[in-house]
Structure 1
Amino acid sequence: MKLTAVKNYASMSNEAASLIIQVMRENEGGLFCFAGGDTPVGTLEELVKAHKNKVINLHKFHFIELDEWVGLGEDDEGSCIQYLNRYLFQPAEIPQKNYHIFDAKSKDLEKECQRADDYIKENGGLTLSLLGVGVNGHLGFNEPGVNFDQPAHIVELQGNTKEVGQKYFDGSYEIDRGITLGISQLFASKYLLLLANGETKRQAVEQLMKSEQANNQWPVTIVKEHSNSYAFIDNNLLH
């Protein structure tokens, strides 16, 4: 794992976007997985800026949604896809045929998992995954105790994930489950990028930094095991 200590959020976003652009230049047509939520917003904005300045053409790539709250969709405030739409797909005018999202309102969620698995296989696996980390160390909705060998799956969300999630919903939703790509799929990415900033992520970062091997009680520790992983972490969390 290559660690980059960053001085602030803007620096983290710039550093991550620069690396992603470099990877895109070397992997035209590749499949990219980007997390929704607050942490990657700055990175996505930098990618869109690069696209509009013709530094990179985002239309030449495929994308897949990392995870989603079960019961939420594109029209629901706080959904993961709303973040991707607002900060990536819409401003860069990326055609719908270029990306895959979960239908987390589907009556057949297992089929949604299979659709995601198939999309990854059809596109030759993930080129790069851009991840945030949960307060409890989760990646996507791969919660503590997860089976590292699982592909896409449905998750019963743990208490602190649901509690933190409420900031997205203004208390208007009661979310108990998530749907997510599995650790095995993320770990098979050619490149794995982790972003971490904010005091709430301190314990997860401490677990990552002190880990000597992957521990499924802190899923984030798998990042250290990846042969081509990069962690962009707020310098304040490393002291």
Structure 2
Amino acid sequence: MKIIVVDNYNEMSKKAANIIASCIVLKPNSVLGLATGSTPLGVYKELIKLYENSDVDFSNVCTFNLDEYYGITKDNDQSYSYYMKENFFKHVNLKEENTHIPDGTCKNVDTMCQSYEDIIKQHGGIDVQILGIGQNGHIGFNEPDDKFVADTHLVKLKEDTVNANSRFFETIEDVPKEAVSMGIKAIMKAKKIILIANGINKAEAIYKTIKEDVTPEVPASILQFHSDVTVIVDKEAASKL
């Protein structure tokens, strides 16, 4: 596990974007695993800049998102489908058919989850997976539990995750209480993983992820077992290391 400590959020975002862009230059048909939330926004902005400067070409890139809220439609402005379109997809030359996000409205969730796993396999797995981290150590929406859940699955969100996400909604009652999330196995099968975190509120989760025992109570700690993980954190997020 490689740890990179930077001064601030902007530097974290640039560093992560440059690594992703380098991977695409080396393999133009790279398969990217994408995250949502506030932390990766800067990474997407930097990737857009690199595209606009003709430093990276997304025309043959394929993407798979980690997760999607369950029970809201794609056109809902709080869905991750909407987030990805507005913050990244529509600004670069990614082909729509090469972007994949779990279906948050599918009635047969188990079938949809298995299909998502199958499509990832058909594309040869994920080359570069970008991850944020929740204050409780979750990656994707793999919440603290007494076991690691391997495959893409429907998740009942923990109260602290719902509370953390409530800043994006008008009221806490509007926050979805379930989500579809890529499982730990699919994440761990990625050839390269980039974990990004900033701010003092992530310091405890980063410390437990890197320094303490591997446990499903801190889902991100499983990354200790991966052969190619780069953790990029600002000084505040790294303050307990």
For the criterion TM > 0.5, the same-fold answer is yes
Measured at CA, do residues 227 and 12 of structure 1 come closer, stay the same or move farther in structure 2, by a change above 3 Å? same
Equivalent residue, structure 1, for 2:130: 130
Equivalent residue, structure 2, for 1:95: 95
**Distance in 1 of aligned mates of 2:175 and 2:99:** 28
Measured at CA, do residues 207 and 154 of structure 1 come closer, stay the same or move farther in structure 2, by a change above 3 Å? same
Moved more, 160-169 or 90-99: 90-99
Equivalent pairs: percent with the same residue?
30
Moved more, 103-112 or 141-150: 141-150
Equivalent residue, structure 2, for 1:157: 157
**Distance in 1 of aligned mates of 2:54 and 2:46:** 12
Equivalent residue, structure 2, for 1:25: 25
Once the two structures are TM-superposed, the CA of residue 109 in structure 1 deviates from its matched residue by 1.4
Are positions 1:121 and 2:121 aligned together? yes
**1:146–1:219 Cα contact (<8 Å) kept:** no
**2:68–2:102 Cα contact (<8 Å) kept:** yes
Structure 2 unmatched ranges of 5 or more: none
Equivalent residue, structure 1, for 2:145: 145
**1:59–1:98 Cα contact (<8 Å) kept:** no
Once the two structures are TM-superposed, the CA of residue 62 in structure 1 deviates from its matched residue by 0.2
**Distance in 1 of aligned mates of 2:93 and 2:29:** 17
**1:36–1:81 Cα contact (<8 Å) kept:** no
Moved more, 186-195 or 146-155: 146-155
Q: Can you list the C-alpha shifts for 1:47-75, whole angstroms capped at 9, x where unaligned?
A: 11111211110111100111011112321
Equivalent residue, structure 1, for 2:179: 178
Q: Can you list the C-alpha shifts for 1:125-183, whole angstroms capped at 9, x where unaligned?
A: 11111010011000000001164351111111111011111111221614211101011
**Distance in 2 of aligned mates of 1:157 and 1:147:** 15
Residue correspondences, number? 238
**Distance in 1 of aligned mates of 2:90 and 2:2:** 32
**Distance in 2 of aligned mates of 1:72 and 1:85:** 16
SS of 2:4 mapped into structure 1: strand
**Distance in 2 of aligned mates of 1:238 and 1:125:** 30
Measured at CA, do residues 175 and 9 of structure 1 come closer, stay the same or move farther in structure 2, by a change above 3 Å? same
**1:100–1:119 Cα contact (<8 Å) kept:** no
Equivalent residue, structure 1, for 2:45: 45
Moved more, 12-21 or 68-77: 68-77
Name the Cα RMSD after superposition.
1.4
Equivalent residue, structure 1, for 2:228: 228
Structure 1 unmatched ranges of 5 or more: none
**Distance in 2 of aligned mates of 1:11 and 1:73:** 34
Q: Can you list the C-alpha shifts for 1:197-222, whole angstroms capped at 9, x where unaligned?
A: 122212101212322x4211101112
SS of 1:119 mapped into structure 2: helix
Equivalent residue, structure 2, for 1:4: 4
2:200 partner letter:
E
1:57 partner letter:
D
**1:4–1:231 Cα contact (<8 Å) kept:** yes
Equivalent residue, structure 2, for 1:204: 205
Q: Can you list the C-alpha shifts for 1:4-32, whole angstroms capped at 9, x where unaligned?
A: 00111100000000111111122221211
**Distance in 2 of aligned mates of 1:128 and 1:139:** 15
Are positions 1:194 and 2:184 aligned together? no
Measured at CA, do residues 42 and 120 of structure 1 come closer, stay the same or move farther in structure 2, by a change above 3 Å? same
SS of 1:237 mapped into structure 2: coil
**Distance in 1 of aligned mates of 2:115 and 2:36:** 19
SS of 2:236 mapped into structure 1: helix
